[in-house]
Amino acid sequence: MTYLRRTILFSLIIVNLVYGGAARFVENELLVRFDEGITQADIEIIIMDDNLQIVRQVSRPLNLWLLQVDLSKNQLGKVRRRIEDVPEIKYAQNNHHLSLRNTPDDPQYTSQWNLHNTGFDVNGNPSGTEDADIDAPEAWEISTGGETAFGRKIVAAIVDGGCDLDHPDLQANMWSNPFDTLGNGIDDDDNGWIDDSLGWNAYGHNGNIPQTNSDASHGTHVSGTVGAHSNNTNQVAGVNWDTQLMIVAGASSTTAIAMEAYSYVLEQKLAWLDSDGLEGAFVVTANSSFGENRVFCDSLNYPVWNDMYNAMGEAGILSIAATANTNVNVDVSGDLPTSCSSPYLITVTSSNKDDIKVFGAGYGAVSIDLAAPGHGILSTNYHGTTSTKYGTSMSTPHVTGAVALMHAAASTELAQYYEDNPALGAGVFKTLLLTSVDTLASLDGITVTGGRLNLHHAVLAASVWPTGSGDMNQDFSLDIQDVVILVNLILGNITPNPVLIAAGDLNDDTLITVQDLVLLINSILQ
């Protein structure tokens, strides 16, 4: 490590300690990412002289380990800086504390205006603005969720504080691992996770999902927005009616706990990919309604977050994250994870029933992608009940649910493209979702898109993709405008995105070249 890097790193640590940004870390723990192939035996030799002890491996895909420092013999910061010089170590970071995006105590609502806003409450009194919603009924005319065009059972991971697994409006949509048995203490399916028949509890490092504490209330509410079993004459509707919910507890604790939770989700998808769908789960999205205020994800203190989101994205999983529940510009103040730069992350702020950003919600024209309803959201709650909650935590599952529903509605071509190219396919879904928002003056300049989620438009875009090979502007026709866009893409005058790449690669060689241009011109002339 160079002197300059050491100086910068030390300065960042001091600043964070003074101003409270990154001071909330476990005093004697480090998260260390080792090179691929480095084993526990290798690690024991590497750390032998640094008064370190292995706690556990947190993530197998990232080869990420939790280490404990003997503070009686060493300082945490000193050990961290010293071990980063080891060639086999990619980096070390503090194990930071995290918290759920808890919601403020506001007046109650009694209807799901977020799905369909008439401008009136259930008693017929004026309340909100008509159509300030995600257009769910229109989307459900296309799909209500469940399976892809190839019959894959779509799974949305809920990384939260737990969930009421027996909730009458959720139970039918709960994902389970049929190859493992809960409570026998045996890794029946040899997947590295003991007793994970109903998901995973990263807090306890076991399969016992918390179901009755306050964090489980939060997770149950989030789960209901993503996928409450609907059209069943019971309680509430979810964005998806039949999509499976993978419950993973591990949101409000530390980075190590969160990474273990994410790793469970990632490994389930990797198992699905490696086994051609015989094992694991077809996870397409993961909901994260938690984080840490006023820190920057891309700083030297938080390298593992982008790594994890990138690893999940490469497996085809889009991560959806809630921003802070405070009226700050996160571009300036920072936020974890919504300041992360991973292309597989979608970040969300909260809007109300008048299509205005909630005052107590973060914003950022660079960091926050879009808004979704989050103020007075009725959904499932623990103990088999329903409740109304408030905050960015309630916004995020609308977007998570949207990604899952887009997969259910996706055309055969898009479904095939995703299975052949999980990373690029995930990028297509992200691009389609973000380009289909309802742009609003109230969000102009405070989110990347300047818009609020429109479920109907997103689902429709997925259902008709591609509108035709070479249809660069997705206007359902091939003409000179497509030629102009393709020429500029080839010349580097336009920033490529997954939709442009997929539409412009007419000869399926994964490259955008003059050969594609010739094919497009010939298609137009014909």
The lowest-confidence range among 111-115, 398-402, 466-470 is 466-470
pLDDT at 21: 39
**Which of 440, 463, 486 represents a domain boundary (last residue)?**
463
* Sign, Cα dihedral of 241, 371, 436, 424: negative
Percent residues over pLDDT 90 in the chain: 72
- Where a domain ends, among 39, 70, 96? 96
395 and 513 belong to one structural domain: no
> Does residue 364 belong to any structural domain of this protein?
yes
CATH of the domain at 282: 3.40.50.200
DSSP string computed for 134-187: --HHHHHTT--SSB-TT--BEEEEEEES---TT-TTTGGGB---TT--TTS-S-
Assess if residue 208 is contained within a domain.
yes
- Find the range with the poorest average confidence among 1-10, 200-209, 436-445, 460-469: 1-10
Question: Quick one: 519 exposed, middle or buried, by C-beta within 10 A (0-12, 13-18, 19+)?
Answer: middle
Domain membership flag for residue 178:
yes
pLDDT at 142 over 70: yes
pLDDT for the residue numbered 111:
67
pLDDT at 231: 85
Got the DSSP string for 306-358? HHHHHHHHHTTPEEEEE--SSS-BHHHH-EETTT---TTEEEEEEE-TTS-B-
Cβ atoms within 10 Å, residue 40: 11
Check whether residue 172 and residue 64 sit in a common domain: no
Q: Which amino acid type is present at position 486?
A: L
Last residue of a domain, one of 42, 69, 96: 96
Question: How high is the pLDDT of residue 351?
Answer: 98
Q: What is the domain extent for residue 75? A: 3-96
Average pLDDT, the chain: 89
In this predicted structure, the answer to whether residue 104 has a pLDDT above a threshold of 80 is no
Name the domain count of the chain. 3
Spatial contact of 266 and 317, defined as CB atoms under 8 Å apart: yes
Residues 376 and 520 in one domain: no
Q: Which of 181, 210, 209 is nearest to 197 (CA)?
A: 181
Residues 351 and 314 grouped into a single domain: yes
Residues 200 and 299 in one domain: yes
Q: Do residue 425 and residue 476 come from a single domain? A: no
Same domain, yes or no, for 165 and 296? yes
**Co-location of 21 and 153 in the same domain:** no
Note whether residue 450 is domain-resident.
yes
| Residue 113 pLDDT exceeds 50 | yes
pLDDT value at position 253? 87
CATH number at residue 509: 1.10.1330.10
Residue 98 pLDDT level (bands cut at 50, 70, 90): confident
Q: Which of 21-35, 189-203, 388-402, 451-465 has the lowest mean pLDDT?
A: 21-35
- Edge-to-edge strands of the sheet including 25-34? 52-59, 64-69, 25-34, 89-96
- CATH code where residue 46 lies: 3.30.70.80
Instruction: Tell me how crowded residue 327 is: count the other CB atoms within 10 A of its CB.
Output: 12
Give the pLDDT of residue 468. Answer: 66
Q: Is 333 found in the same domain as 225?
A: yes
Question: Of the ranges 237-241, 245-249, 451-455, which one carries the lowest mean pLDDT score?
Answer: 237-241
Q: What is the pLDDT of residue 9?
A: 34
Q: How confident is the model at residue 4 (pLDDT cuts 50, 70, 90)?
A: very low
CB atoms within 10 A of CB 81: 17
Note whether residue 174 is domain-resident: yes
**Same domain (yes/no): 498, 425:** no
pLDDT of residue 117: 87
pLDDT tops 70 at residue 14: no
List CB contacts of 508: < 8 A, sequence separation 6 or more. none
Has residue 454 been placed in a domain?
yes
Is there a single domain that holds both residue 442 and residue 477?
Answer: no
Q: Which of 90-104, 163-177, 409-423, 427-441 has the lowest mean pLDDT?
A: 90-104
Identify the band that residue 475 occupies on the pLDDT scale cut at 50, 70 and 90: confident
- Using a pLDDT cut of 70, give the percent of the chain over it: 93
Same domain, 292 and 391: yes
